[in-house]
């Protein structure tokens, strides 16, 4: 609270990093509105990731729940980096954080650029991201993400590592092994052939598809084509051969 109409003291309070400053001459209505806005900002800051400023787990779950309640057709895409820990070990935490921010920028710009306000991009934590979009735009969007990532990420390595396409790192037993350059794996689930009633169902399947994508070499997205009651004759139940950077259907 700032006494009187002293502009210098008012400015000094903000310079001291105050989140909000009120003059004692402010009307009750203004005080109430400013405090409400302060609380909204506080909630917003709590629900976003500090390094990427993307919505966190609470907002992710709320968006999925809203789409389920509105009976929308949607796709949930779980993105995760491959060989990120080894990169951090070889370079630094600072370099690893830069990679996280690059991935967040790619996801946000590609997803929002393709789907606009119909899409949602969130940051679960670490190198785990989740984005939600209309089903019909999954292939185009994920394909562009994979392409952008594989184009940009090699430049986060030294020239020697970039040219070789790998480097030697130690596993948990201290044994040297070849570590390829980082790739991105995206697991996709949709409600085209399933009926979701709770966000936990979506989370479980998205995690399963992300793990499946990570079992494949290179950057790839995998789409779950199974249904609640699949039939043996359904051709989408088969697994086509893997091709780096392309869609895999499970």
**Residues with Cβ within 8 Å of residue 157, at least 6 apart in sequence:** 167, 181
Say yes or no: 41 and 61 in one domain.
Answer: no
| Residue-level pLDDT, tens digit, the chain, 250 residues | 555 566 676 677 656 655 667 677 777 777 677 777 756 655 555 556 666 889 988 899 999 999 999 999 999 999 999 999 999 999 999 999 999 999 999 999 999 999 999 999 999 999 999 999 999 999 999 999 999 999 999 999 999 999 999 999 887 788 889 999 999 999 999 999 999 999 999 999 999 999 999 999 999 999 998 887 554 444 333 333 333 345 454 5
137: in domain: yes
In a domain? residue 51: no
- Considering the domain architecture, whether residues 144 and 241 belong to the same structural domain is answered as yes
What is the predicted pLDDT for the residue at 172?
75
- Do both 140 and 244 map to the same domain? yes
Regarding whether 230 and 109 lie in a shared domain, the answer is yes
Domain count across the chain: 2
Kindly state whether residues 26 and 64 are assigned to the same domain: no
d(CA 231, CA 233): 5
8 Å CB contact between 190 and 74 = yes
Q: Can you tell me whether residue 241 is helix, strand or coil?
A: coil
Q: What are phi and psi of 226, to 5 degrees?
A: -75, 160
Q: What residue numbers bound the domain in which 136 lies?
A: 57-249
Is 52 part of a structural domain of the chain?
no
Phi, psi of 99 (to 5 degrees): -60, -40
User: Could you tell me if residue 34 is inside a domain?
Assistant: yes
C-alpha span between 219 and 80 (Å, rounded): 10
Structure token pair of residue 222: 């995998």
pLDDT at 47: 58
Residues 145 and 233 in one domain: yes
The answer on 119 and 34 residing in a single domain is no
- Look at residue 50 in the predicted model and tell me its pLDDT: 65
Range list of H helices, the chain? 7-15, 28-46, 57-69, 84-90, 93-115, 138-152, 159-164, 199-214
CATH number at residue 150: 3.30.70.270
pLDDT reported for residue 204: 96
What is the pLDDT, as a whole number, of residue 2? Answer: 56
Strands 247-249 and 220-223: parallel
Q: pTM for the whole thing?
A: 0.75
**Inter-axis angle of helices 138-152 and 93-115, nearest 10:** 150
Q: Is residue 1 part of a domain?
A: no
């Amino acid at each position: 609270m700032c006494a009187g109409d002293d502009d210098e003291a008012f400015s000094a309070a903000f310079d001291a990093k105050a989140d909000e400053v009120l003059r004692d001459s402010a009307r009750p209505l203004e005080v109430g509105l400013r405090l409400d806005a302060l609380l909204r900002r506080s909630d917003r800051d709590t629900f976003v990731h500090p390094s990427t400023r993307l919505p966190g787990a609470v907002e992710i779950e709320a968006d999925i729940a809203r789409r389920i309640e509105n009976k929308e057709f949607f796709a949930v895409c779980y993105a995760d980096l491959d060989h990120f820990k080894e990169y951090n070990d070889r370079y630094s935490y600072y370099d690893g954080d830069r990679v996280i921010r690059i991935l967040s920028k790619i996801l946000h710009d590609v997803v929002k650029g393709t789907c606009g306000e119909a899409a949602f991009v969130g940051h679960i934590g670490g190198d785990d991201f989740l984005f939600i979009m209309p089903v019909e735009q999954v292939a185009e969007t994920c394909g562009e993400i994979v392409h952008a990532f594989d184009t940009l990420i090699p430049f986060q390595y030294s020239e020697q590592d970039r040219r070789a396409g790998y480097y030697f790192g130690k596993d948990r037993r201290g044994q040297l092994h070849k570590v390829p350059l980082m790739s991105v794996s995206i697991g996709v689930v949709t409600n085209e052939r399933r009926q979701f009633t709770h966000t936990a169902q979506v989370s479980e399947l998205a995690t399963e598809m992300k793990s499946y994508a990570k079992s494949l070499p290179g950057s790839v997205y995998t789409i779950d084509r199974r249904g609640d009651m699949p039939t043996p004759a359904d051709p989408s139940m088969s697994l086509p051969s893997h091709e780096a950077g392309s869609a895999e259907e499970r």
